Amino acid sequence: MEASSASSSSSSVTFYDFLDRMRNPASLDLVRSIKSFIVSFSFYAANPDNDAKKVQEFFTTMEDTIRDHPIWAGATDEEVDSAMEGLEKYVMTKLFYRTFASSPGDIKLDLEISEKIQLLQTFLKPEHLDIPSVLRNDASWLLAEKELQKISAFKAPREKLLCIINCCKVINNLLLNAAMSENHVLAGADDFLPVLIYVTIKANPPQLHSNLKFIQLYRRQAKLVSEAAFYFTNLVSAKTFIVDLNAKSLSIDEIEFEESMQAARETNKLIPEEFFTTQEVMTTSQGQIDPGASARVHHKETNAGGSNYPYMEAEAGDLTVRDVERLLSLYKDVVTKYTTLCKAVKSFPPTKTESSLPHLEGSSILSTKPEENTENTRE
Amino acid sequence: MGCSSSLPDRSSGRLVGTNSENGGAPDAKNIRVKLVLLGDSGVGKSCIVLRFVRGQFDPTSKVTVGASFLSQTIALQDSTTVKFEIWDTAGQERYAALAPLYYRGAAVAVVVYDITSPDSFAKAQYWVKELQKHGSPDIIMALVGNKADLHEKREVSVQDGIECAEKNGMFFIETSAKTADNINQLFEEIAKRLPRPTTS
């Protein structure tokens, strides 16, 4: 089966194990149900709520099927669970382009949020959110930002969620460290949320709204609970705060706020928008949620296709399933060219303003993440 | 740090709770309860739960101590376990509108105020109203007057607390996270009030 296309975005051990079992002739019935489920989507127009319902029902059914299947005979709950993680990843990678940011409304919201954050980045400071100075730790914040920015580098809901959890764990450690070494009374969410909001603004994670919606709809429901649900809710909360943010949300003078926003608008108008990330990512994350679990990030040059785009004249009815692979590679080619172009244009902005956020520059680019120690000790 | 370890506690009530919250563990013997903490910033919400979480020392219990999410499992006498998953919320005014995101699906809401601060008591009453309007109808609510050790600075009388709680069908308790007074009782009382699991 065409497992290779799905595995190109991951090297997770559990995922390979899942694929291996699926290659076993004894799983032919499972493979057939999975394939026919995925194909069934091509008969209907995309509809996030219906699609999510169908996917979640499919996961539930498949969990029972797997549990009773000879190939998983005698499997522990853990093994069944990791098979389900494999299934979620396989199905959602296949359905990604249909299910992610699928409505014009989502795309619009993503853009609006990203633009608003860009404006806020130019002047927002920790004191505007009354973040205590013992919690202002650039190294920790940068690490948390990087975790959040990886969110679009993954297609599987679990891996996207993991980016959020890792980001929150970094902040958690910062708070716990401050409580121990600085004698700062642990203030729980009173400290946690403002830091998360500030980190989110600094990170400006790509397609924030769509990523959150995708996780909410397609992460297996039994898994979006407890601590994972808590951190997820906090990022939803941070996003909501940012969307509704006005001068009254901040410790800032109203006139100063409006002027700063206006000034930022005028500057940003001159810089073209960039909101796609095309990096393909390989990850070794094994499902642990400790902040040290870093993902190996690879940049992959997509150099498929020439300069001609043969489908320009095609009608939807002319296309067959065979065209999908070619179309996808052409699509990647176009996106890569587009983003490269944007970056090139961006590096020659007509005017350059000083950013008030120290490591804003370059932070939008996913880079190879070294093993970093999250136990940042403050000087 | 204000919150250190308290006395061991052999958990009491044989009553058990619910796993009605978002797809909870379908196991009647192991109940998961989502508990949300509401209250003004500075009333000691985090200290109360830290006291509770660190104070238990059942060696079999799994504990998660985060800065804003904590979980603690207590074993009841009938060998049922209740896992409290405690969601802290930011108490500052500017985040008030976000609270529904947190208390959605919660089985228990603990509303905390500081007995030395009438403002925090007013804020607690605001949360109670919010929960009645937007929380799930069968949510269990507790009203907690914290910092009970600061007698000489008391500005909210015990009577005011009791009245407010009675009026709103909540149970009321005064605690001190500092001395660990009534901390375990708070969570035991909550465990008692959880609905019995449906026979399955």
Q: What is the pLDDT of residues B26-55, one digit of tens each?
A: 467 788 999 999 999 999 998 999 889 887
| Beta carbons of B46 and A186 less than 8 Å apart | yes
Burial of A135 (0-12, 13-18, 19+ CB in 10 A): buried
Taking only residues 234 to 273 of chain A, the set having a beta carbon closer than 8 angstroms to any beta carbon of chain B reads 234, 236-237, 240-241, 244, 248-250
Burial of B131 (0-12, 13-18, 19+ CB in 10 A): buried
Residues in chain A: 379
Residues in chain B: 200
Are A50 and A15 in a shared domain?
Answer: yes
DSSP secondary structure, A278-320, as one string: ---------S---TT-PPP--------S-S--GGGG--GGG--
Are A182 and A37 in a shared domain?
Answer: no
| A302, part of any domain | no
Report d(CA A313, CA A303) in Å as an integer.
22
Are A56 and A83 in a shared domain?
Answer: yes
Query: What is the chain B residue with the closest CA to A247?
Result: B94
Q: How confident is the model at residue A371 (pLDDT cuts 50, 70, 90)?
A: very low
pLDDT digits (tens, 9 = 90+) for B174-196: 999 989 999 999 998 999 888 86
**Residue B186 contacts residue B173 (beta carbons within 8 Å):** yes
- What element of type H or E holds B173? strand B171-174
CA B88 centroid distance within chain: 10
**Which has the higher per-residue pLDDT, A316 or B12?**
A316
Quote the DSSP letter at residue B176. Answer: B
Domains of chain B: 30-193 (3.40.50.300)
- Report the phi/psi class of residue A106: left, alpha or beta, with left for phi > 0 and alpha for psi in -120 to 50: alpha
Task: Give the β-pairing of B140-146 and B81-88.
Answer: unpaired
**How many Å lie between the alpha carbon of A41 and the closest alpha carbon of chain B?**
26
Measure the CA dihedral A265/A266/A268/A273, to 10°: 90
Segment among A190-204, A235-249, B42-56 with least mean pLDDT: B42-56
Scored b (16 or more CB within 10 A) or e, A28-38 reads eebeeebeebe
Which domain-ending residue is among A243, A268, A293? A268
- What element of type H or E holds A28? helix A28-40
Q: Of A177, A374, A378, A201, whose CA–CA distance to A292 is shortest?
A: A374
- Residue A13 forms contact with B (CB below 8 Å): no
In chain A, how many domains are there? 2
**Residue A186 contacts residue A91 (beta carbons within 8 Å):** no
Residue A250 has pLDDT above 90, yes or no: yes
Average pLDDT, chain B: 83
| A370, part of any domain | no
- Residue B24 forms contact with A (CB below 8 Å): yes
**A209: its two tokens:** 């709204």
Q: What does the pLDDT read at residue A268?
A: 74
Interaxial angle between packed helices A157-181 and A226-244, expressed in degrees from 0 to 180 and rounded to the nearest 10:
90
End-to-end CA distance of chain B: 45
| Beta carbons of B101 and A236 less than 8 Å apart | yes
| A221, part of any domain | yes
Set of chain B residues whose Cβ sits within 8 Å of the Cβ of A236 = 101
**Residue A246 contacts residue A179 (beta carbons within 8 Å):** no
Query: What is the chain A residue with the closest CA to B104?
Result: A233
- What element of type H or E holds A34? helix A28-40
Report d(CA B169, CA A199) in Å as an integer.
40
Tell which of A57, A60, A226, A242 to mutate to test the B interface (max B CBs under 10 Å).
A226
Which domain-ending residue is among A221, A239, A268? A268
Report d(CA B137, CA B140) in Å as an integer.
9
| Beta carbons of B101 and A176 less than 8 Å apart | no
| Beta carbons of A188 and B64 less than 8 Å apart | no
Taking only residues 49 to 78 of chain B, the set having a beta carbon closer than 8 angstroms to any beta carbon of chain A reads 49-50, 64, 66-69, 71
Q: Of A198, A211, A134, A142, whose CA–CA distance to A170 is shortest?
A: A142
Scored b (16 or more CB within 10 A) or e, A84-106 reads bbbbbbbbbbbbbeebbbbeeeb
Checking ipTM against 0.95, whether it exceeds it is no
Are A123 and A256 in a shared domain?
Answer: yes
Residue A4 has pLDDT above 90, yes or no: no
Report d(CA B52, CA B187) in Å as an integer.
8
pLDDT digits (tens, 9 = 90+) for A285-328: 443 333 333 433 333 333 333 345 667 767 777 777 777 877 88
Tell which of B4, B46, B63 to mutate to test the A interface (max A CBs under 10 Å).
B46
Domain that holds residue A110: 104-268
pLDDT digits (tens, 9 = 90+) for A12-31: 678 888 999 999 999 999 99
Taking only residues 182 to 201 of chain A, the set having a beta carbon closer than 8 angstroms to any beta carbon of chain B reads 183, 185-194
DSSP secondary structure, A165-211, as one string: HHHHHHHHHHHHHHHHHS-----THHHHHHHHHHHHHHH--TTHHHH
Are A75 and A115 in a shared domain?
Answer: no
Are A109 and A252 in a shared domain?
Answer: yes
Q: Of B38, B32, B74, B39, whose CA–CA distance to B53 is shortest?
A: B74
Q: What does the pLDDT read at residue A185?
A: 81
The alpha helices in B25-141, defined as continuous H runs, are 45-55, 99-103, 118-134
| A285, part of any domain | no
| A81, part of any domain | yes
Which domain-ending residue is among A99, A114, A139? A99
Report d(CA A346, CA A379) in Å as an integer.
36
Are A129 and A18 in a shared domain?
Answer: no
CATH number for the domain that contains residue A125: 1.20.1050.80
Are A113 and A245 in a shared domain?
Answer: yes
| A326, part of any domain | no
